[in-house]
Amino acid sequence: MSDGLSHALAEAAAALDREDPHTAQAALAPFADQLADDVRVARLWAGLLHHASSPQGIERELARFAQAWAHDPEVMQIAAAGAVRWCRRHPLEAPARREPVARAAAECLRRAIHARKGGRGATERHALHAALARALTLVGPAVDDDALHAWETALTLHPEDGEGWFGLARLHTLRGRWRKGLEASQHALTLLDVPAVRWNLALCATALGEAEVAAQAWQALEHPAHVTLEGGAVVPDLPPVEVCLTPATLGLDGQPAGGDWQVEAVWVQPLSPAHGRLVHPTRLPGPADFDDVVLWDAEPESFRPVDGRDVPRFVALAVLRAGRAQTLPVAGWLPYPKALMRVDAALPLGCFVHSFDPPRKGDFHGKLVFPKGLDPASALSALEAAATIAEARIAPIR
């Protein structure tokens, strides 16, 4: 091995250890033509994949690895793990951009499984099937049967794999199979007592309405949970968070909302670390609206500084309960910024108008919010009268 390559490999390895992908890539770049021939270059290059900015770039690199290194399970697992990590770090990417990366990772692992088939030991086969299952889990519902089969194969090869049982629990959770997700989480906990497993257990128990189970899980995570008289597991005094609604969010019927990929971040008042109530109406059509109770995933997608604190932004998994309000889109014109305050003051109890943007003189878009017991026609009649008092023009959007 040349001194130049030796130095580059050491520099790249050290850079990857400290999460410095730019230095690692710069060190390896002069030796990129050796990726298909030198396993040391291949392993370090594979370790860079999750830092990529382009999903198409990851797909191209995975194709290169699949072509050159299907016979080397370690290289293939490193490359696939990088792609899986990238997908997990970008949960709000449109499926059309995210899922092909997971598919390409799965294809790498399938090639590794079939290369020298029958010549691998149980430990190696288990690792490859578990890695395949993780990749297929992120492809989405279209390959759900394949993902289940991969997890079943991996766990048959190694029934005491706590990480594997947790992976199976995550698959069920992401598909809204709360009972199976809870059972797999409980089994995983007997083998792997870590916070992520307890969190997923609490999440599934919350979705199922099993308050005692959820409360015990939160308490084990040092959250002061208790069961309310209404039968819910609550952790008091949690600050508001942002939750992202997407077409993949499961509605009250247990099905994804569907439609074009749009993401809306909404403010939610948590009832526990995993569920809470929307505190304002939504701008986009979607699975949830004001006062609905939603369930979100454990890992924040990002953080945003607001009023001196970093507010976590989570991804909504499902709508758990409908709220006590209904909404209608409205638009119009305001004669002065505080006109909406006068409108709200003149509306019946429980009714108000929410503006999507800070109120100002001029055009206005928002929603009328009113109790479910109030007839929409009566609510609109009250809005018309209140707008007249405020000298504003507000009407429903047909």
On whether residue 372 sits in a domain, the answer given is yes
CATH at 352: 3.30.70
Domain interval for residue 109: 3-159
Answer yes or no: are the C-beta atoms of 223 and 293 closer than 8 Å. no
- Judge if 49 and 65 occupy the same domain: yes
13 and 140, same domain (yes or no): yes
Query: In the chain, how many domains are there?
Result: 3
Of 137, 159, 181, which marks where a domain is finished? 159
The torsion angles phi and psi of 224, rounded to 5 degrees, stand at: -75, 70
* Residue matched to tokens 């009407």: 395
- DSSP label of 113: H
Q: Do residues 371 and 382 make contact, with C-beta atoms less than 8 angstroms apart?
A: no
309 lies in the same domain as 342: no
Does residue 251 sit in the same domain as residue 333?
A: no
Do 313 and 299 share a domain, yes or no?
Answer: yes
How many whole angstroms separate alpha carbon 360 and alpha carbon 372? Answer: 29
Q: What's phi and psi for 333, nearest 5 deg?
A: -140, 135
Residue 270 tokens, joined: 């948590």
Q: Is there a single domain that holds both residue 315 and residue 351?
A: no
Are 23 and 112 in a shared domain?
yes
339 and 244 assigned to the same domain = no
Q: pLDDT tens per residue, the chain (398 residues)?
A: 567 888 888 988 898 889 888 998 889 888 888 888 889 999 998 999 999 889 999 999 999 999 999 999 999 999 999 999 999 999 999 999 999 999 999 999 999 999 866 667 889 999 999 999 999 999 999 999 999 999 999 999 999 999 999 999 999 999 999 999 999 999 999 999 999 999 999 999 999 999 999 999 999 999 999 999 888 999 999 999 999 999 999 999 999 988 999 999 999 999 999 999 999 999 999 899 999 999 999 999 999 999 999 999 999 999 999 999 999 999 999 999 999 999 999 999 999 999 999 989 999 999 999 999 999 999 999 999 999 999 999 999 98
Same domain, 255 and 148: no
What pTM did the predictor assign?
0.92
Q: What share of the chain is helix, strand, coil (3-state, %, to 5)?
A: 50, 20, 30
